[in-house]
Structure 1
């Protein structure tokens, strides 16, 4: 089962696990995935933490101590999650030492701040200081308000995972924000080689939204286009990435020691059971990218995924043709991406509310247990 994952890694795709729990860390499962399943990074979000905290007893003692010390729910969440990310960073540290761009563990700024630039910067700096590991990544959403926060954090030497990217237009703005941050860091005398970044381009949700609209249109021409928009969108994103790497602006930063901001394929679990469960891995194989997978997708690829060479480079023209076809049958792609971003921010906020409710329940239980 590991041969398929190794082939994927050998093709230049960094395999990151979209999941984390104290159970994974303390049981040795995360270290095992690194050693045996080619996993070289971890991404997290509030829903992942809510699931981890509600499942099992590994957080109980810390929650009890924090409650006894008078911590409120925000403080408890901050301590639990930064502890897990710090410890996961330590597990991944040998990977980071051997492969500078990998061995990374991401933690997200509070999603309720997605439309507040200044508060996002404050939150990112607090998380970076608390985790206190060079192989951490702070997740900042690619909202319009998030873009200057990305620049400010990169400029301060903080490594960033830019999340919630749907359109190539916004992705170009993200890359510009990254370069601007690197320029600020360079001018401030910060060693650019210490700064890492990935740009998380969401995949499966694009097909979910576009397919729904195609089915509403209902013509044969429209229905024939289902299940293709997400991969085409990602291929166009990679072409934009290649364009930026060819600019003199990037070359100057690279000569100063800067690392490229690799595209990261996120939301790669297939939502439609009619599609192959490894679709958003197999069809997006290309060097210098990251694919962050739920464990279900990771195991599916380990079992029957296929690596059939580079599936992305040189395919931008076909992707443009696909988008032209979508527009011809009545799909407003600009509206698709606006809807997806608004829904994404809303889902992030609901995910945070879920985490708050989970931790509040744990705090109440701990208080009862200690009474």
Structure 2
């Protein structure tokens, strides 16, 4: 049989997750095609995805009418709508979860991003989401802010699987892995079966290139132009080096012996923003065993159509990746400044998207109430 690029990607050790969810997609059976023909084994969501789904489809009309009739406040309505979709998606991917021991078949749902600087609020919301969805293959998304690190550890310590999102810097990624191991250590003390607790660390890729390439354009030299489109890959590849290093320690070996599973790197923001770059760049050039790539459908279809998978494209690239970041520093592009800016902007975008979702649902409720 002739293989496909997405099958080749899976064979190379990359789990393909779709960065999209809607009730229309659930009800139409569209996931069946993606599972069977595109090797999709998981789903991530965010407020923008839910807002778009609500605006574009009629699949939510019945639930909206019921929520409106019961005078449910908009925040609770959003909670009910999103957890309903995620629970249904968890059921669709239940077979993948079972066949992989819970490693894949995962569906993520995000804590209200307005709580990103509120440790206790994030922990409480994570527990509430987990209790509402009531599916073992759900992942609770928590942003990797400084305040979020303790929330990540505490949520894992309660036996709840976590998708740590919005990671840009290598320093913060190290802190995320530390929070993960701390949470698993506490879960062990709390008597949980460690093999049932899963986590991914979502490292953002394309946004790094977008910001750095803008700065390179401002410099305007040939040397600057030669570095465009390279920072995002370099940063992600060095994150994989961090992953290899920190999961090859005595601390981790103790946890692994107790049944713990590694927190896998997840490549997020893998849709290419610059039309001058190949549309599969953040897929084909970030292949390594044990990673997740969550793709918007456009990127997934581009990969299926013309992606060329050549095996591991990360291991052994670390010297070159460091050279890229060093060259940027020498040119006056501050890595630390960029990643700090991206985190601030990322949180602002999350909150803006959340508010847009609230407005979308409020409009739908008002319309239903006449």
What TM-score do you get using the length of structure 1 for normalisation? 0.98
2:201 alignment counterpart: 199
Aligned counterparts of 1:362 and 1:189: Cα–Cα separation in 2: 44
1:81 alignment counterpart: 82
Q: Is the partner of 1:145 in helix, strand or coil?
A: helix
- Per the TM alignment, residue 70 of structure 1 is displaced from its structure 2 partner at its CA by 1.8
1:108 alignment counterpart: 110
1:305 alignment counterpart: 307
Greater CA drift, 246-255 or 311-320: 311-320
2:347 alignment counterpart: 345
1:287 alignment counterpart: 289
1:202–1:265 Cα contact (<8 Å) kept: yes
1:328 alignment counterpart: 330
Matches within 5 A, 1:123-134: 123-134=125-136
1:358 alignment counterpart: 360
1:95 alignment counterpart: 96
Equivalent pairs counted in the alignment come to 368
Q: Is the partner of 1:347 in helix, strand or coil?
A: helix
> Judging changes above 3 Å, is the alpha-carbon distance between structure 1 residues 341 and 222 closer, same or farther for their aligned structure 2 residues?
same
1:250 alignment counterpart: 252
Aligned counterparts of 2:34 and 2:8: Cα–Cα separation in 1: 16
Matches within 5 A, 1:29-178: 29-100=30-101, 101-178=103-180
| Structure 1: tracts of 5 or more residues without a match | none
- Per the TM alignment, residue 315 of structure 1 is displaced from its structure 2 partner at its CA by 1.3
Aligned counterparts of 1:3 and 1:220: Cα–Cα separation in 2: 38
Q: Is the partner of 1:40 in helix, strand or coil?
A: strand
| Structure 2: tracts of 5 or more residues without a match | none
Q: Is the partner of 2:332 in helix, strand or coil?
A: coil
Aligned counterparts of 1:222 and 1:84: Cα–Cα separation in 2: 45
Deviation beyond 3 Å, 4+ runs, structure 1: none
Q: Is the partner of 2:139 in helix, strand or coil?
A: strand
1:278 alignment counterpart: 280
- Per the TM alignment, residue 32 of structure 1 is displaced from its structure 2 partner at its CA by 2.1
Aligned counterparts of 1:2 and 1:107: Cα–Cα separation in 2: 32
- Per the TM alignment, residue 2 of structure 1 is displaced from its structure 2 partner at its CA by 7.2
2:319 alignment counterpart: 317
1:237 alignment counterpart: 239
1:25–1:31 Cα contact (<8 Å) kept: no
Aligned residues: CA RMSD: 0.9
1:210 pairs with one of 209, 212, 215: 212
Aligned counterparts of 1:190 and 1:99: Cα–Cα separation in 2: 20
> Judging changes above 3 Å, is the alpha-carbon distance between structure 1 residues 140 and 2 closer, same or farther for their aligned structure 2 residues?
farther
Residues 339-360 of structure 1 show CA distances to partners (whole Å, capped at 9, x for unaligned) of 0000000000000011011101
1:2–1:37 Cα contact (<8 Å) kept: no
Aligned counterparts of 1:2 and 1:37: Cα–Cα separation in 2: 11
Q: Is the partner of 1:79 in helix, strand or coil?
A: helix
What TM-score do you get using the length of structure 2 for normalisation? 0.98
1:2–1:36 Cα contact (<8 Å) kept: no
